[in-house]
Amino acid sequence: MSEGEVKGSEVAKQLDEINESMFTIDKARLDVEWESVSVRSFSMHKLAAKTQLLLDDIKRQMEVARAKVDSEIRRDPINNGFPSGKTTENGIESAIVLDSKIQELASQINDARYRVNLAEAAVEAISTKKKALDGLTQLHSTNYYTSK
């Protein structure tokens, strides 16, 4: 397993550990909720940064792989799907897209984008929780709940 795959599996595990209970609020324990929100916010932002870093790394791998396939086709077109030895830019691009390594990396990019989106959703949910805590704290300070 490569270093990128190890990091990716660690990030996937962290994303799997995110659940709705992390974003709910116990109104009877606002002090505890406030204490934990900054730690959770940092954790979610850190996770989002890791997912973005992994996505960027896979994109870089894709650029390198595309360049290698392109170079190989131009170097030896006959043994790379161009029996006449003549290539066109469109033909080379089509051959690159059909390469199995390129297709695998494209799939990894899609998975990484999904992880980035999940992490960004978690960051947004923590931000929303913080705003909700602020509102609930205001209500609590005005004795809103004692008058009900």
Q: What is the mean pLDDT of residues 3-16?
A: 78
pLDDT of residue 90: 96
pLDDT of residue 1: 54
Q: Is residue 126 part of a domain?
A: yes
Owning domain of residue 96:
32-130
Has residue 88 been placed in a domain?
A: yes
The domain tally of the chain equals 1
Report the distance separating Cα 16 and Cα 126, nearest Å.
Answer: 16
Q: Is it the case that residue 47 has pLDDT exceeding 90?
A: yes
Task: Tell me the average pLDDT of the chain.
Answer: 90
**Would residue 101 count as lying in a domain?**
yes
Between these two residues, 114 and 26, which has the higher pLDDT value? 114
pLDDT category of residue 7 using cuts at 50, 70 and 90 = confident
Assess whether pLDDT exceeds 80 at residue 32.
Answer: yes
Residue 67 lies in a domain: yes
Q: What is the pLDDT of residue 110?
A: 97
- Asked if pLDDT for residue 146 goes beyond 60, the answer is yes
Distance separating alpha carbons of residues 107 and 48, to the nearest angstrom: 20
Specify the higher pLDDT residue, 145 or 9.
9
Is there a domain that residue 5 lies in?
A: no
Q: For residues 94 and 54, what is the distance between their CA atoms, to the nearest angstrom? A: 26
Mean pLDDT across 114-127? 96
| 56-109 per-position pLDDT tens digit | 999 999 999 999 999 999 999 999 999 999 999 999 999 999 999 999 999 999
